[in-house]
Structure 1
Amino acid sequence: MDCWSAENATNAFLTTLKMGERGKAPDVTEFISAMAGGNNSQLMVMACTGHPGSVLLGLVAAAHQTGGRVVCILRSEEEMHAIKGDYAKFVEFVIGDDVKTLLASNYEGADFVLIDCKLEDFQQVFEAAQQGVSVKSAFIVGYNALHEGPKLSFDHKGYFLPIGEGLLVSKIRVSQGKNIGGGRRSHWVVEVDECTGEEHLYRVSTSPNTN
């Protein structure tokens, strides 16, 4: 659904808070939940290394608001058995080493893809997710982006947000199977209040270059 729902974003954010599992950087979970909920995401796919932690709860909260599905791709059965019990009622778990192929063949209709930057082939997976979008509008998000350090590349048209361990956010719009070159683009801007140290997030739309 190609429209932003402030109500869903707010409700997903509040639902995540009520779940009560807040880790080292709780703002990451809540921000991801609000973004997925506000996007009215219907198919949310997460690819991670090891236990996804509270971040997966953010997608579950968003799905509660949108009526969507949550799929979590893991690399081994051991990882699945360690996690599945806590999320079995809310998340579909899939095991596979080749995340790129899974995204392209099984989940090309995903409108919110969340990727752990700690994956060895993270950048290839991120780019494959962007190229495989078949719905009208989709968010591709990388978390733990600071793990990439100097290797972090912005060639894949993502915006870096200094939230928690870092987020890399890309919004893709497609028309008849092709990326839209025109139209308005949107991204997130982070401003820090010098007095309080609080971070304020704004969603900004910009017009494309006419050259």
Structure 2
Amino acid sequence: MKLSWSPERASKAYIDTVQSCEVSRESGVAEFISAMAAGWNAQLIVETWSQGGVIATSVGLAVARRHTCGRHVCVVADERARSEYAERMGEAGVAAEIVVGEAEEVMEGLVGVEFLVVDGRRKDFPRVVRLAKLSSRGAVLLCKNATSASKAKGFVWRSLVAQAQASNSRRLLRSVFLPVGKGLDMAHVSASSHGTTSRHRWIKHVDQQSGDVHFIRK
């Protein structure tokens, strides 16, 4: 099994997010991310949020969760951030599971991440990606606010994915930078083979008595 794309689910989440965030100035980002999460039918959506940050993306992910019937978890640094996030999400009429703690502690308990959104303005966002325990079905990773300053910190999808998933036979299927909002970096990671995939080869065998040619798969 691997992540499969549903255009219908993506469009519905997009429209619902537009209606929920119609007064937001972060036009485009929330709608796009919501459509991506819903379209890939992500069962575990994880995001990081910092105190004082915009809430539109979180609203979009909450909308996507309604369409996937999965989980939406937000990681915050402390109780003050948790309180503000919960209050602002409540005002928007949506909710998410909130987990407080450092990246090492939080990501340890989140197994099977299929959609991860990190904030390029947070210093720990590369570590969050490296520690993420991605789903065996594959995963979609996004970095919002992916400015040139973020790239200067060494933010490279290929190296992060390689470090995080070196033992799970994963590969980076594709990555792209989109000029949406303040920059959106996106990567699609393959499903894990769990070491079960084997390569076969054909051996040609000629019967010396009959002259018949046989091909044997090994």
TM-score bucket (shorter structure): 0.7 to 0.9
Contact 1:37 1:62 in 2 (8 A): yes
Matched with 1:23 is: 24
Matched, 1:172 2:189: yes
- 90, 96, 106: which one pairs with 1:91? 96
Task: Identify the residue that residue 9 of structure 1 maps to in structure 2.
Answer: 10
| Cα deviation digits, residues 2-59 of structure 1 (max 9, x gap) | 2100011000000101113443331000000000010001111111222341110110
The 3-state SS of whatever aligns with 1:175 is coil
Question: Could you say if the C-alpha distance between residues 62 and 82 of structure 1 is closer, same or farther in structure 2, counting changes exceeding 3 Å?
Answer: same
Q: Are positions 1:119 and 2:122 aligned together?
A: yes
Q: 1:52 to 1:70 in 2, by over 3 A?
A: farther
The answer for the alignment partner of 1:77 in structure 2 is 79
- CA shift for structure 1 position 115: 0.5
Aligned CA-pair RMSD: 2.2
Distance 1:20 1:149, change over 3 A: closer
Aligned to 2:68: 66
What secondary structure, in the 3-state scheme, does the structure 2 residue paired with 1:145 have? Answer: coil
Does 2:113 align with 1:110?
yes
Contiguous gaps of at least 5 residues in structure 2: 159-174, 198-218
Once the two structures are TM-superposed, the CA of residue 90 in structure 1 deviates from its matched residue by 2.5
- 2:178 is the alignment partner of 1:161: yes
Residue 106 of structure 2 aligns to which amino acid in structure 1? Answer: L
In the alignment of these two chains, the number of paired residues is: 175
Identical positions, percent:
29
Quick check: 1:46–1:72 contact (8 Å CA) kept in 2?
Answer: yes
Contact persistence 2:21–2:59 (CA under 8 A): no
**Structure 1 residue runs without a partner (length 5+):** 181-211
| TM-score using structure 1 length | 0.75
Q: 1:134 to 1:177 in 2, by over 3 A?
A: farther
The answer to whether the 8 Å contact 2:43/2:70 transfers is yes
Comparing 141-150 with 162-171, which one deviates more in the overlay? 141-150
Q: Give the TM-score taking structure 2 as reference length.
A: 0.72
SS at match of 1:29: helix
Amino acid in the other structure paired with 1:107: L
Partner-residue secondary structure (3-state), 1:44: strand
**Equivalences for residues 191-206 of structure 1 within 5 A:** none
2:194 and 2:49 map into 1 onto residues whose CA distance is 27
The answer to whether the Cα contact below 8 Å between 2:35 and 2:64 also exists between their aligned partners in 1 is yes
| Higher alpha-carbon deviation: 84-93 or 4-13 | 84-93
CA separation of 1:52 and 1:109: change in aligned 2, threshold 3 A: farther
Instruction: Quote the offset at 1:150 in angstroms.
Output: 5.2
Match of 1:134 in 2: 135
